[in-house]
Structure 1
Amino acid sequence: MGSTARSRTRPAGRADLGRPFRWLWASAAASNAGDGITRTLLPLLVVAHHPDPAAVAGLTAVNMLPWLLFALPAGVLVDRADRRRIVLGSNLVRAAALLGAALVLADDGPLAALYALAFVLGIAETLADTAAPAMLPRLVDERHLERANGRLSAAQIVLNETVGPPVAGLLMGLTAAVALATGGALYAVAALLLLGLAPLARTTREPTPGEPASREPAPGERAGGVLGDIRAGLRFVLGHRPLRLTLAASALYGVVFSAAFSMLVLFSARTLGLGETGYGLLLTAGSLGAVAGSWLAPRADDRLPTVRLARWSLAASGAAYVALGLSRHPVPAALALAANGVFMMGWNIPVMSLRQRLTPEDLQGRVMSVSRLCAWGGMPVGAALGGLLAAAVSVPAVFLVGGAVLSTGALLLLAPLRDDRTPDPGPQKHSDLLDK
């Protein structure tokens, strides 16, 4: 398992990710700002017209349903079509849906219409969030995937989770129509920015030595249509131990994260005695930690073996949940959430980059769709388990048990993976992880 620290051929902080990445980043920033506004706005609209907890819960379920129904077919489409056009089209659909809603739903919001809007937005998000990460290995040098993923993650956290919600509240203070139109305009801007990218034909970038290359479809794969392509993607994931085990760990993290997050508002109110402002500050502490982690994780990956960094970051994230469960004062609770944000990025960014490296070009979309399904498919289960555990024991017990399970699971699930031993930073550095 021992591995010396790796060195980069260029200083990490001076990596030039190139103009194509800058166009993608700008587009992602605009769409994340739209996400942040929309995800806060829709529940507010439901509450304004239908103040029923079941109606609000139903909105979340409808919005997430496309991930369960269409994630795997979306991966097939992403591997068959131009990924840039998929993201561009998804942003245009979201823009049109929100701008249309600004005209017809602002004054009167029938619950069925709001659910339909949430479902359409969920389908578009499923396609965009599958295609965008699959584009990345063809836009930046393989050595800089961690840095590119880190910058995209930072934009997502700042604009989606930190800036978007309060802006949505301010816009709702004006009119719902203005808030809806602002979200639609941001998605339209995101689509326009993608015009700066050339169509991503399969000849965009030749594989570098040691990098998994595009492969010919297996016999009968195309003959099986969409289902055949889905089976091929699942076979690839299940047949490669690094992908299989990291996806299992992601599923575990999704369950623990959703259990903890679903109980955080109760923990803030009952255990820490905080009001709405204090709860918002707790969330801000977690977001700031994640932003810091998006900067630190690529630099740590420059110096540590990828598998070791990911494994111990995930275990440390579990320890941060335990520390949160033990906290009885807002300051240590905020510090625990900030630390969890750092460690979350120390897991997400290296593992995302590792999957992108280990996956052939023609399977990027399907592997990404399986990844999303594993990470997010278990979240409803985690939220239900968190509620049951809190009712049976206590709210802090959710963080204590969940954190202990996450730390133990991370160490056990990822123990079979070997750290790379190659000092060269190129694609060869993960070659030993390709063992089945």
Structure 2
Amino acid sequence: MGSTARSRTRPAARADLGRPFRWLWASAAASNAGDGITRTLLPLLVVAHHPDPAAVAGLTAVNMLPWLLFALPAGVLVDRADRRRIVLGSNLVRAAALLGAALVLADDGPLAALYALAFVLGIAETLADTAAPAMLPRLVDERHLERANGRLSAAQIVLNETVGPPVAGLLMGLTAAVALATGGALYAVAALLLLGLAPLARTTREPAPGEPASREPAPGKRAGGMLGDIRAGLRFVLGHRALRLTLAASALYGVVFSAAFSMLVLFSARTLGLGETGYGLLLTAGSLGAVAGSWLAPRAADRLPTVRLARWSLAASGAAYVALGLSRHPVPAALALAANGVFMMGWNIPVMSLRQRLTPEDLQGRVMSVSRLCAWGGMPVGATLGGLLAAAVSVPAVFLVGGAVLSAGALLLLAPLGDDRTTDPGPQKHSDLLDK
């Protein structure tokens, strides 16, 4: 027990995540830059050719539809195939789709063609975002998963949410073809960078003493096919208390987050009296808080039990939403959003790392796909509930009610986990976890 405690308190700054992780991080950075550009660019193209709110809303729905349709099958594919090749192929598909669109959609953007492009990009994203985190336990020591996840999260926030949107606007000011081609080029670079992992693609960490080998059946001998593999993944998640309860909390967070975010623009305009620039600064404050949280969370995880850190971070995120709902001035509102960004990472990074530790190698893809489905699946519900609550009561009420529900839900849902070793494993034996 003494050696375990020392390994958990080793300063994260001393961790060398290794060359394979650096290749993965560089590839993820390029693809996140592409995400940030394309997610801003596609609505701009729709508005330019089809200035109808329903058309813009339809684009978002079509882009998110693959997560509902293909998330679980994508998890099975990720567990059956080479994950590096899946991410590489997904980036190549996105590059080809955007470079092709730069040739045929720049001057004229038929709505059906833009929807088709959004749907193809959504399918590729579903595969890439399921396979990439499932690769991580094979590339870094499990003691350093929080640090690795923190670095990947920081790249996503900076390039996808902060840098990408304004760059897309600048590129669109040149020509749509240039903007589309830039996004495609970034995905192509992301694919090329993954070639640095080629010599290590089949390398896995050595099993710990007593840890079972992968239980993945030999190819061609799976019972039940695709549906059987999906059921096996769901059984594992539902049968493991820590995974089951953290996924329930993730679903709750998705509902509250989408309800709050859908009303943030109205809160900024009506309650705080801000224009477009002020609204952008509010979003920037939240992004800066998330970047700070991606740095703080791995360090906090070295000193605190994983479940305790995640539980209180999620509850604090709810409190930050309440503080935002009570704000009537831009400065405290920005501080509340920044604090929420910090606590959001204090939840996301430890929980992602916990799931990676608790999941056997042959189930990583399916567990990741279920977690994505839980988080993303509740967002349309949350946006709808947020709109109904704002219409019935007020816009600030969305943040007050949502924050209170999130704090209470975090404490109630995660209280049964406590801080025991079955839900905060650190480097303990994998076989011990599978029996709990």
Q: TM-score, length-normalised on structure 1?
A: 0.95
**Separation in 2 of the partners of 1:393 and 1:2?**
55
| Kept in 1: contact 2:417–2:423 (CA 8 A) | no
Aligned-residue offset at 1:421:
5.3
Identical-pair percentage: 98
Partner of 1:51 in structure 2? 51
Distance 1:132 1:284, change over 3 A: same
| Kept in 1: contact 2:11–2:302 (CA 8 A) | no
Distance 1:423 1:403, change over 3 A: closer
Distance 1:224 1:162, change over 3 A: same
Distance 1:209 1:316, change over 3 A: farther
SS of the aligned residue for 2:3 comes to coil
Q: C-alpha offsets along residues 29-81 of structure 1, whole Å, 9 cap, x if unaligned?
A: 00000000000000000000000000000000000000000000000000000
Distance 1:396 1:176, change over 3 A: same
Distance 1:407 1:39, change over 3 A: same
**Separation in 1 of the partners of 2:229 and 2:332?**
48
| Kept in 1: contact 2:9–2:303 (CA 8 A) | no
Say whether residues 1:220 and 2:225 are aligned partners.
no
| Kept in 1: contact 2:313–2:343 (CA 8 A) | yes
Aligned-residue offset at 1:198:
2.2
| Kept in 2: contact 1:423–1:429 (CA 8 A) | no
| Kept in 2: contact 1:289–1:342 (CA 8 A) | yes
Aligned-residue offset at 1:294:
0.2
Q: C-alpha offsets along residues 349-386 of structure 1, whole Å, 9 cap, x if unaligned?
A: 00000000000000000000000000001100000000
| Kept in 1: contact 2:11–2:299 (CA 8 A) | no
SS of the aligned residue for 2:218 comes to coil
**Consecutive aligned runs of 4 or more in structure 1 exceeding 3 Å deviation:** 1-10, 199-203, 209-213, 216-221, 420-426, 429-436
**Separation in 1 of the partners of 2:257 and 2:85?**
32
SS of the aligned residue for 1:198 comes to helix
Aligned-residue offset at 1:208:
2.3
Aligned-residue offset at 1:222:
1.5
Distance 1:434 1:323, change over 3 A: farther
Aligned-residue offset at 1:427:
1.8
| Kept in 1: contact 2:294–2:346 (CA 8 A) | yes
Aligned-residue offset at 1:12:
1.3
Q: Indicate the larger mover: 212-221 or 50-59.
A: 212-221
Aligned-residue offset at 1:199:
6.0
**Separation in 1 of the partners of 2:192 and 2:337?**
36
**Separation in 2 of the partners of 1:398 and 1:430?**
42
Aligned-residue offset at 1:215:
1.5
SS of the aligned residue for 2:32 comes to helix
| 5+ residue gaps, structure 1 | none
**Separation in 1 of the partners of 2:429 and 2:313?**
20
Partner of 2:382 in structure 1? 382
Distance 1:378 1:426, change over 3 A: closer
Say whether residues 1:407 and 2:407 are aligned partners.
yes
**Separation in 2 of the partners of 1:287 and 1:158?**
7
Q: TM-score, length-normalised on structure 2?
A: 0.95
| Kept in 1: contact 2:78–2:86 (CA 8 A) | yes
Aligned-residue offset at 1:214:
1.7
**Separation in 1 of the partners of 2:27 and 2:120?**
20
| 5+ residue gaps, structure 2 | none
**Separation in 1 of the partners of 2:126 and 2:421?**
36
Aligned-residue offset at 1:433:
6.2
Distance 1:335 1:200, change over 3 A: same
| Kept in 2: contact 1:74–1:127 (CA 8 A) | yes
| Kept in 2: contact 1:420–1:433 (CA 8 A) | no
Aligned-residue offset at 1:20:
0.1
**Separation in 1 of the partners of 2:269 and 2:190?**
38
| Kept in 1: contact 2:251–2:378 (CA 8 A) | yes
Aligned-residue offset at 1:162:
0.2
| Kept in 2: contact 1:211–1:428 (CA 8 A) | no
Aligned-residue offset at 1:110:
0.4
| Kept in 2: contact 1:5–1:305 (CA 8 A) | no
**Separation in 2 of the partners of 1:210 and 1:273?**
61
Aligned-residue offset at 1:200:
6.0
Q: Indicate the larger mover: 319-328 or 210-219.
A: 210-219
| Kept in 1: contact 2:286–2:339 (CA 8 A) | yes
**Separation in 2 of the partners of 1:353 and 1:329?**
37
Aligned-residue offset at 1:340:
0.2
| Kept in 2: contact 1:237–1:243 (CA 8 A) | yes
**Separation in 2 of the partners of 1:14 and 1:165?**
34
Distance 1:294 1:136, change over 3 A: same
